[in-house]
């Protein structure tokens, strides 16, 4: 492989690093001095992109890209500095300077990590923030796009739509997801049954490695390119950009949201949904979303309401007979459905009212309002009705919880489980996500919801995947197992999160890690350890 030489400025940093130190303030001083001496780009002086707690905007910048209030409390460890990189040389310098002075880095693109791993660490660290690197170039002739890591999925959907109404991309539902973390963790959305995951549609990538070199698919080699497509890139380097393949969508897609309470037969419908959802036409995706609502006006009595949220890559007149054939019990009617361009459907999926202008996809920096704890499970056999009824009962007990059941099958079942590090392919009926949420501060509240989440997970044990009990990397859950961020244990990883997230792909990830980052600079609580 032909690895490009390092730029002169980066070489200069390497040569100038003579002393190492471990104390916080001197590490930071050294880190700060490491930059301006050697990166001289007058248009973006490095001092304007590094913030420390002395800068008045430090806290708001830190908070702007966090999604879980559990990691915004006064006791949450804060970074020594935030580097808001504006060009690749800032990324290179951050890696080299942090490594040289014993600081860990946490890489943040959209900041949606459920356990805050992109902006919290238990050891001295700096946050490498990628949000300024957010350009998107659509190449319609080649049906590809070049997407920088700090771009959001909402921006991607918006700029695709500016060029074409018959193209889309199989990515996640929340518009503020960052391309850097979302895609490297697998990335799925409602085009999954037709086109697979985001990572199944990545054709090239630019990555800065532990030595500060910028690699592409050719220069990084197929092993590393494999690893960053679903293995979590933060174990291997910093993704600068992805080159993705655009997906074909019809000019109008159909969406629907049918709500049924338990009293209206939701339990039977959910049972039946389990039997058909993964077998439906690949153009059809129906998510099930149960949540607790008031049955009586005074809120004394609660019940479960299940939303069947659907998307069809075609028009209503083809959908209705298809549903009548495959899932007549839902009784889908033309009046339940709306046709719209694919880009509008991305807003519908995030619960915006029909007719919302697509500029909403560009809104960012929504500071977190809720504390939450999320978990995931894979289901391979239909859950018996009696267990579904118990699930409803438990949900009503805690109230502040929602679930999402996302059907697999279609394209997901056709891709081999070793094609990418993401192993959950054929044999899965659906993926469950469940999230408890709360708004009151304090440990009592937190313990109540965390405890509930864990006991709910225990309750589901008989009905979900076993040996290993699988979990989805993008639904990060430290209960699945974690190495403390200042230690590495391959045994811990292998027997817990390594297996749950990656199954038999874990060993290959360890091999790649050992080759590209043997000293384990790119490390976090659930990173891939080297041998």
Ligand X SMILES: *[C@@H]1O[C@H](CO)[C@@H](O)[C@H](O)[C@H]1NC(C)=O
Ligand Y SMILES: Cc1cc2nc3c(=O)[nH]c(=O)nc-3n(C[C@H](O)[C@H](O)[C@H](O)COP(=O)(O)OP(=O)(O)OC[C@H]3O[C@@H](n4cnc5c(N)ncnc54)[C@H](O)[C@@H]3O)c2cc1C
Q: Taking CB under 6 A as the rule, which mask of x and - marks residues 455-494 in contact with ligand Y?
A: -------------------x--------------------
Asked if 185 is part of the footprint of ligand Y (rule: CB under 6 A), the reply reads yes
My answer on whether omega of the bond before 498 falls inside 30° of 0, hence cis, is: no
Q: Which does 52 bind (CB under 5 to 8 A by kind): ligand X, ligand Y, none?
A: ligand X
Q: How far apart are CA 529 and CA 181, in angstroms?
A: 19
Q: Could you say which of 88, 170, 175, 178 contacts ligand Y (CB under 6 A)?
A: 178
Give yes or no for a contact between 136 and 145, defined as CB atoms under 8 angstroms apart: yes
Q: How far apart are CA 364 and CA 189, in angstroms?
A: 20
Asked if 177 is part of the footprint of ligand Y (rule: CB under 6 A), the reply reads yes
Report in angstroms the alpha-carbon separations of 392 from 323, 462, 485. 26, 16, 37
Q: How many other C-beta atoms can be found within 10 angstroms of the C-beta atom of residue 95? A: 25
Q: Shortest Cβ distance from residue 447 to ligand X (Å)?
A: 4
50-52/202-208 β-pairing: unpaired
Q: Which does 187 bind (CB under 5 to 8 A by kind): ligand X, ligand Y, none?
A: ligand Y
Q: Which does 474 bind (CB under 5 to 8 A by kind): ligand Y, ligand X, none?
A: ligand Y
Closer to ligand Y by CB, 112 or 260: give it. 112
Asked if 107 is part of the footprint of ligand Y (rule: CB under 6 A), the reply reads yes
Asked if 62 is part of the footprint of ligand Y (rule: CB under 6 A), the reply reads no
Asked if 57 is part of the footprint of ligand X (rule: CB under 6 A), the reply reads yes
Q: How far apart are CA 287 and CA 127, in angstroms?
A: 35
Tell me the angle at which helices 88-100 and 24-34 cross, rounded to the nearest 10 degrees. 140
Report in angstroms the alpha-carbon separations of 439 from 10, 68, 348, 371, 400. 45, 11, 25, 6, 10
Give yes or no for a contact between 231 and 421, defined as CB atoms under 8 angstroms apart: yes
Give yes or no for a contact between 434 and 375, defined as CB atoms under 8 angstroms apart: yes
Asked if 234 is part of the footprint of ligand Y (rule: CB under 6 A), the reply reads yes
Phi, psi at 445, each rounded to 5°: -60, -50
What is the separation of C-alpha 359 from the centre of its chain, rounded to a whole number of angstroms? 22
Task: Based on DSSP, count helices (H) and strands (E) in the chain, helices before strands.
Answer: 18, 18
Q: Could you say which of 69, 70, 90, 108 contacts ligand Y (CB under 6 A)?
A: 108
Asked if 257 is part of the footprint of ligand X (rule: CB under 6 A), the reply reads no
Q: Which residue stretch of 4-12, 181-189, 217-225, 340-348 sits at the interface with ligand X (rule: CB under 6 A)?
A: 340-348
Give yes or no for a contact between 337 and 254, defined as CB atoms under 8 angstroms apart: yes
Residues 115-144 within binding reach of ligand X (CB under 6 A): 122, 139, 142
Asked if 455 is part of the footprint of ligand X (rule: CB under 6 A), the reply reads no
Give yes or no for a contact between 127 and 108, defined as CB atoms under 8 angstroms apart: yes
Asked if 335 is part of the footprint of ligand X (rule: CB under 6 A), the reply reads no
Asked if 26 is part of the footprint of ligand X (rule: CB under 6 A), the reply reads no
- Buried b vs exposed e over 301-340: b needs ≥16 C-beta within 10 Å? ebbbbbbbbbbbbbebeebbebbeebbeebebeeebbbbb
Q: Shortest Cβ distance from residue 318 to ligand Y (Å)?
A: 26
Q: Which residue stretch of 217-225, 319-327, 424-432, 494-502 sits at the interface with ligand X (rule: CB under 6 A)?
A: 319-327
* Nearest to 334, CA basis, from 354, 317, 312: 317
Q: Which residue stretch of 58-66, 96-104, 387-395, 519-527 sits at the interface with ligand X (rule: CB under 6 A)?
A: 58-66
Asked if 201 is part of the footprint of ligand Y (rule: CB under 6 A), the reply reads no
Asked if 60 is part of the footprint of ligand X (rule: CB under 6 A), the reply reads yes
| Number of residues counted as binding ligand Y (CB under 6 A) | 34
- Which are the catalytic amino acids? 475
Give yes or no for a contact between 388 and 430, defined as CB atoms under 8 angstroms apart: no
Q: Could you say which of 70, 90, 99, 112 contacts ligand Y (CB under 6 A)?
A: 112
Closer to ligand X by CB, 5 or 357: give it. 357
Asked if 188 is part of the footprint of ligand Y (rule: CB under 6 A), the reply reads yes
Q: Shortest Cβ distance from residue 71 to ligand X (Å)?
A: 15
Q: Could you say which of 47, 248, 461, 495 contacts ligand X (CB under 6 A)?
A: 47
Closer to ligand X by CB, 222 or 444: give it. 444
Asked if 64 is part of the footprint of ligand X (rule: CB under 6 A), the reply reads yes
Q: How many CA atoms lie within 13 A of 391 on its CB side?
A: 29
Q: Shortest Cβ distance from residue 433 to ligand Y (Å)?
A: 8
Q: Where does this chain bind ligand Y (CB under 6 A)?
A: 67, 106-114, 117-118, 130, 149, 172-174, 177-178, 180-182, 184-189, 232-234, 238-239, 474
- Contacts with ligand X, residue ranges (CB under 6 A): 28, 47-48, 51-52, 54-55, 57, 60-61, 64, 122, 139, 142, 294, 299, 320-321, 324, 340-341, 344, 354-355, 357-358, 365, 444, 447-448, 451, 484, 486
């Amino acid at each position: 492989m032909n690895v490009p030489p390092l730029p002169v400025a980066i070489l200069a940093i390497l040569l100038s690093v003579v002393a190492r130190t471990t104390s916080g303030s001197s590490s930071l001083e050294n880190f700060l001095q490491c930059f301006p001496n050697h990166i001289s780009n007058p248009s973006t002086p490095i001092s304007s992109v590094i913030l420390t707690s002395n800068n008045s905007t430090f806290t708001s910048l830190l908070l702007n890209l966090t999604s879980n209030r559990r990691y915004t409390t006064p006791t949450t460890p804060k970074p020594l500095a935030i580097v808001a990189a504006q060009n690749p040389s800032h990324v290179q310098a951050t890696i080299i300077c942090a490594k040289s002075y014993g600081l860990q880095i946490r890489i943040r693109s959209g900041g949606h990590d459920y356990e805050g791993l992109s902006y919290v660490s238990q050891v001295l660290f700096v946050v490498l923030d990628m949000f300024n690197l957010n350009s998107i170039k659509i190449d319609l002739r080649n049906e590809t796009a070049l997407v920088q890591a700090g771009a959001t999925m909402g921006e991607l959907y918006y700029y695709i739509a500016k060029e074409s109404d018959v193209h889309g991309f199989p990515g996640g539902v929340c518009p503020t997801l960052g391309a850097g973390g979302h895609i490297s963790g697998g990335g799925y959305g409602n085009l999954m049954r037709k086109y697979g995951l985001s990572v199944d549609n990545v054709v090239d990538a630019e990555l800065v490695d532990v030595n500060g070199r910028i690699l592409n698919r050719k220069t990084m080699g197929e092993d590393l390119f494999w690893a960053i497509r679903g293995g979590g890139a933060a174990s291997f380097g910093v993704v600068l950009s992805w080159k993705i393949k655009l997906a074909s969508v019809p000019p109008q897609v159909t969406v629907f949201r049918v709500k049924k309470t338990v009293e209206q037969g939701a339990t039977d419908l959910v049972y039946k949904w389990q039997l058909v959802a993964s077998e439906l036409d690949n153009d059809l995706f129906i998510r099930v979303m149960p949540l607790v609502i008031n049955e009586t006006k005074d809120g004394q009595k609660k019940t479960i309401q299940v939303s069947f949220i659907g998307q069809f890559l075609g028009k209503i007149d083809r959908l209705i007979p298809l549903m009548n054939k495959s899932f007549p019990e839902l009784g889908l009617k033309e009046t339940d459905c709306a046709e719209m361009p694919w880009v509008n459907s991305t807003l519908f999926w995030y619960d915006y009212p029909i007719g919302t202008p697509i500029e909403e996809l560009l809104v960012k920096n929504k500071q977190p309002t809720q504390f939450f704890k999320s978990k995931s499970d894979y289901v391979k056999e239909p859950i018996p009705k009696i267990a579904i009824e118990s699930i409803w009962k438990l949900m009503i007990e805690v109230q502040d919880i929602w679930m999402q059941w996302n059907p697999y099958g279609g394209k997901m079942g056709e891709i081999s489980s070793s094609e990418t590090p993401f192993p959950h392919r054929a044999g899965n009926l659906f993926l469950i996500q469940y999230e408890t949420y709360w708004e009151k501060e304090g440990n009592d509240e937190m313990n109540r919801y965390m405890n509930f989440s864990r006991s709910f997970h225990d309750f589901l044990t008989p009905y979900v995947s076993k040996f290993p009990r699988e979990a989805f990397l993008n639904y990060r859950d430290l209960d699945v197992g974690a190495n403390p961020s200042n230690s590495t244990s391959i045994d811990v990883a292998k027997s817990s999160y390594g297996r749950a997230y990656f199954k038999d792909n874990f060993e290959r990830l360890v091999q790649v890690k050992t080759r590209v980052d043997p000293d384990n600079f790119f490390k976090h609580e659930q990173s891939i350890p080297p041998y």
